[in-house]
Chain A
Amino acid sequence: MLRVSRMTIAAYLLPTFLVIALIDLYPIFYTFNLSFTNKSTFNTLDNSYHYIGVKNYQYVLQQTGGDFVQVLLITAFYVVVCVALFAFLGLITAMAVNHPRVRGKGFWGNALILPWTVPTFVTALIWKFLYNYNFGPLNQIIRLVTHNASAGILWLDQPTPAFIAVVIANIWMSYPFFMVISLGALQSIPADLLEAAQVDGASGWQRFRYIMLPLLRPALLPATILSAITTFQMFNTVYLITAGGPFTSGNINNPGATEFLMVYMFDRIQNNGNFFVNYGHIATVAVLVFIVLFALTMMSLRFTNLARETKR
């Protein structure tokens, strides 16, 4: 038996611990500490900022009061809609590609995964152009079909179309992920299982419901949770297409129809593009968002563990 002293183990682990402490823990505690101070642009240089207790939390929750909750709700809605749609689309396309009569499976698999491989900002900008009211291909098609030169949807300047627009763009770039996961899981289902069911007289729906779906579950559940987390934290796609808009009110605390959590936080961090930055407030918003995301991650971990247990 190999004998290693505790000191040796500690010595080997020390560099990693140091790096983690420096890169992860220090900024976290620094931010936490900052959220209790009045640090801003004006007192950074001479370090004259000081602790002000929970005033920042009072300010952020009162000033932004309603809108933080509102932002959380629209973000949650966006996540549910997006994840449901791309799980559905991904599964359908995977089953189509996996169908025994489909030829050129490799080609279809690669072709369908293409949207996923394009950098998201490129996709976002392409969609932004597609949605353009005057020159966007989508409205041009609508005008062609309806023979009405003034027809067209104001995609990005009305709340509901803008929301639908960012959902569509997100589905376009995210469903291939689900397709790949589903395809892999589908291919691991033994063909003789399905054949045996067919011989026993199971209908197509029954084979899907009672054989495929239970076998797909262990793969799909974690994928769904992962997608939900990434969608929850989605920033660049939404920001590039709508920048959180359309804004329907002069009230800055009335969030735009697509001002999801990360876009909202980004706007707060930028303090709307000002050089004057209230670091205390930003740190407070960051801590609050962290609490929300931490709770969600903990919840999702529970689900993932459940999924693992079902697999066993």
Chain B
Amino acid sequence: MFSQFSKRALGLTAVLAVATTLLLTACGSSGGNSGNTVDFSGTLTIWHDWSGAYLTAKQQIVQAYEHLHPNVHITLVNQTDDTKTENAVKAGTGPDIVQDPVDHVGTLAAAGVIVPIDQYESASALTSTYTQTASQSVQYGGHVYGIPEVTEILTIMYNKKLLTADQLPKTTDDMFTFEKTYSQQHPGSYGIVWDVNNVYDDAGFFYGYGAVLMDGNGNSTVSSQAGINADTYIAQYNSVLPKDINGQTATALFNEGKAAAIIDGPWAYTGYGQAIGADNLGFATLPVVNSTNTPVEPFVGGKAFMLTKNAKNPALAIDFMKFFTNASNQATMCASTGEIPSNIAAGQDPKITSNTAISAFVQQVKTGGVPFPNTPYMGEVWTPLQKALTAVWNGSETPQAALSQAQTTINQGVQQIKQAQGG
């Protein structure tokens, strides 16, 4: 009896052991290639938007991968025109991987240029490796379409020689008062500058006031009372900022010390560091909107790797994407480029946590930010809203009139896309 029991126990243990081993193996490989064996040979072509110092940092990872798999050759091509990508994919000469801003995901997916990668990386696996916003940004229509590379967000950067941290405004009302008093105290200089008529730069204010530029179903509330309040708030800066301010002017003012602070993103901070001295560059989160008690919420966007329809060796392409964005590679790369890592573990790496710039951008993501819409409908928002912002800034139209016209155009554009999609 005893022996029988022990035999059974032994058998059970054996079964359990086998099952556990199988499970472990499955788990282990799901991080890599979902159980399929990857053919580590051939050429991977990547179309990307890296240049300058960025490119050098990224090339190192590419070389490390080639070193790891000597039979794999990776070709990097700087090519960012999505229309070209579509035509190349159609002709069968396109890249295996496109590295693109995440707001292109929806359009590329709807056009069929990129294909779902759920079989290689499930949504849950994605969320366990990459940050919430980064994971969300590569999902469209219930499918995973890419592996997030880096995250980007706008925040306030200031010149420590001109300001101390406690002088920075905490609310939007403070911000306007600060802008006025700073210009009065320093004639010819400005407080906080930014590209005021740029939709991307102003989106944070719209969301902070409670307006939604575009949701996944094609609904936009730019002309709501919230939107009107946001635009009214932005337009009042016309009396204190240079009247023809744009991105270039803002950058020039900040670089020359004629502006105490600027609203800009990770791509720009190295340049500012060079102009005013990296040690003089301070960071602060965007203010809270008084009327809604919600922070100004800029877009949390970024870049991602996507698998194109004509990828010859999808398993290899995915393996490369995961290698590129693994914790150690991301930590090293981002420490050098100043981008925010999309990988959770990389974000906790000392190389990243000790970097003031990246910590500041991460802080902004935590304080306030909305996922950058990756639906094709978002594309219909840019021009009408930018024209409305400009018309209101120049005093040609009231926010009510300008925004309601923009709204009409946006809705027409969404309708046009829905028709084109056959919906």
Residue ranges of A at the interface with B (Cβ–Cβ < 8 Å): 38, 40-46, 63, 132-135, 154, 156-158, 245-254, 267, 271-278
Binds A, one of B5-13, B274-282, B312-320, B379-387: B379-387
Nearest A residue to B379 via CB reads A274
Judge whether A246 and B112 touch: CB under 8 Å: no
Judge whether B113 and A45 touch: CB under 8 Å: yes
Judge whether A250 and B243 touch: CB under 8 Å: no
Binds A, one of B44-52, B171-179, B403-411: B403-411
Contact with A along B389-423 (1 / 0, CB 8 A): 01110101100011111101100100011001110
* Tally of chain B residues near chain A (CB < 8 A): 48
Separation of A44 and B376 alpha carbons in the complex (Å): 16
Query: Nearest-CB distance from A34 to chain B (Å)?
Result: 14
Judged by DSSP, the binding face of B is helix
Assuming the A-B contacts A133-B242, A276-B379, are A252 and B416 also in contact, with contact meaning beta carbons closer than 8 angstroms in the complex?
no
Binds A, one of B82-90, B158-166, B289-297, B340-348: B82-90
Judge whether B89 and A276 touch: CB under 8 Å: no
Separation of A275 and B391 alpha carbons in the complex (Å): 25
Residue among A41, A250, A253, A254 having the largest count of chain B Cβ atoms under 10 Å: A250
Nearest B residue to A133 via CB reads B244
Assuming the A-B contacts A42-B420, A276-B107, A276-B420, are A250 and B244 also in contact, with contact meaning beta carbons closer than 8 angstroms in the complex?
no
Nearest A residue to B417 via CB reads A276
**A residues near B402, Cβ cutoff 8 Å:** 249-250
Judge whether A278 and B391 touch: CB under 8 Å: no
Assuming the A-B contacts A249-B402, A250-B397, A252-B384, are A275 and B390 also in contact, with contact meaning beta carbons closer than 8 angstroms in the complex?
no
**A residues near B403, Cβ cutoff 8 Å:** 250
Separation of A53 and B406 alpha carbons in the complex (Å): 29
Query: Nearest-CB distance from B308 to chain A (Å)?
Result: 11
Contact of B112 among A40, A45, A271, A276 (CB under 8 A): A45
**A residues near B408, Cβ cutoff 8 Å:** 251
Q: Does B249 contact A (CB under 8 A)?
A: yes
12 contacts across the A-B interface (CB closer than 8 A): A38-B420, A45-B111, A45-B113, A247-B391, A249-B402, A249-B405, A251-B387, A252-B383, A252-B405, A252-B406, A253-B409, A273-B379
Separation of A249 and B402 alpha carbons in the complex (Å): 6
Using A41-B107, A41-B420 as known contacts, list a sample of 4 further A-B pairs with CB atoms less than 8 Å apart, ordered by residue number in A: A45-B86, A132-B244, A135-B249, A249-B402
5 A-B pairs with the lowest CB-CB distances in the bound complex, closest first? A250-B388, A250-B402, A272-B383, A248-B396, A274-B379
Residue ranges of B at the interface with A (Cβ–Cβ < 8 Å): 82-83, 86-87, 89-90, 104, 107-108, 110-113, 242-244, 249, 309, 376, 379-380, 382-388, 390-392, 394, 396-397, 401-406, 408-409, 412, 416-417, 420-422
Judge whether B83 and A157 touch: CB under 8 Å: no
Assuming the A-B contacts A46-B112, A276-B376, are A246 and B390 also in contact, with contact meaning beta carbons closer than 8 angstroms in the complex?
yes
Query: Nearest-CB distance from A133 to chain B (Å)?
Result: 4
Assuming the A-B contacts A42-B421, A276-B376, are A247 and B107 also in contact, with contact meaning beta carbons closer than 8 angstroms in the complex?
no
Judge whether B401 and A250 touch: CB under 8 Å: yes
Query: Nearest-CB distance from A135 to chain B (Å)?
Result: 8
Contact of B405 among A250, A267, A276 (CB under 8 A): A250
Judge whether A273 and B382 touch: CB under 8 Å: yes
Judge whether B420 and A247 touch: CB under 8 Å: no
**B residues near A158, Cβ cutoff 8 Å:** 394
Separation of A252 and B391 alpha carbons in the complex (Å): 11
Contact of A251 among B249, B394, B409 (CB under 8 A): B409
Judge whether B112 and A275 touch: CB under 8 Å: no
Separation of A40 and B242 alpha carbons in the complex (Å): 41
Residue among B82, B90, B107, B391 having the largest count of chain A Cβ atoms under 10 Å: B391
Residue among A133, A158, A249 having the largest count of chain B Cβ atoms under 10 Å: A249
Nearest B residue to A253 via CB reads B409
Query: Nearest-CB distance from B278 to chain A (Å)?
Result: 26
Nearest B residue to A251 via CB reads B405
Separation of A273 and B104 alpha carbons in the complex (Å): 12
